[in-house]
Amino acid sequence: MEYSEKVMDHFANPRNVGVIDDANAVGEVGNAKCGDIMKMYMKINDDGIIEDIKFKTFGCGAAVATSSMATELVKGKTIEEALKLTNKAVAEALDGLPPVKMHCSVLAEEAIQAALTDYYTRKGLNPADYIKK
Ligand code: FES
């Protein structure tokens, strides 16, 4: 299977790359098998809206493309909406990924969950009360 145009576009021109210095949610995840790492930074406002999101991914092209698409899908959304984002939805938004590359999209879902876990932890709340996996 070939990569879709959208995957190639998000790989070549990833959106929301970088770091948010005053982020109030930061999550890092990795895949032990391929060694790829993805880090997400979010700025969440008092209404629980993800006002800004940036990422840094040290990984394969599909990991970069899925990070990019995932940030676009949750930017401006509520925490609740972001928690519902699945790796399948990210892959679909990219018009699909080759089966061997689906695990890369899992990193994007996990990175968002990790950042939101950090958000609740920083607030002194138990993330398990909010993030059902
Ligand atoms: Fe590791 Fe894609 S090969 S995330």
Please tell me if the CB atom of residue 25 comes closer than 6 angstroms to any atom of ligand 1: no
Q: Is the pTM of this model over 0.75?
A: yes
**Element containing residue 101 per DSSP (H, E):** none
Upper half-sphere CA count for residue 57 (Cβ side, 13 Å)? 31
Average pLDDT over residues 70-84: 98
In one-letter notation, the amino acid at residue 86 is T
What string of DSSP letters covers 17-82? BS--TT-SEEEEEE-TTT--EEEEEEEE-TTSBEEEEEEEEES-HHHHHHHHHHHHHHTT-BHHHH
Rounded to 5°, angle at Cα 122 from 48 and 76: 25
Tell me the pLDDT tens digit for each residue of 11-39: 999 999 999 999 999 999 999 999 999 99
pLDDT value of position 133: 64
In one-letter notation, the amino acid at residue 77 is K
If one residue of 7, 34, 56, 57 were mutated to test the ligand 1 pocket, choosing by the most ligand atoms within 8 A of its CB, it would be 34
In one-letter notation, the amino acid at residue 63 is A
Tell me the pLDDT tens digit for each residue of 81-130: 999 999 999 999 999 999 999 999 999 999 999 999 999 999 999 999 99
Please tell me if the CB atom of residue 63 comes closer than 6 angstroms to any atom of ligand 1: yes
- Pick the catalytic residue from 65, 104, 107, 115: 104
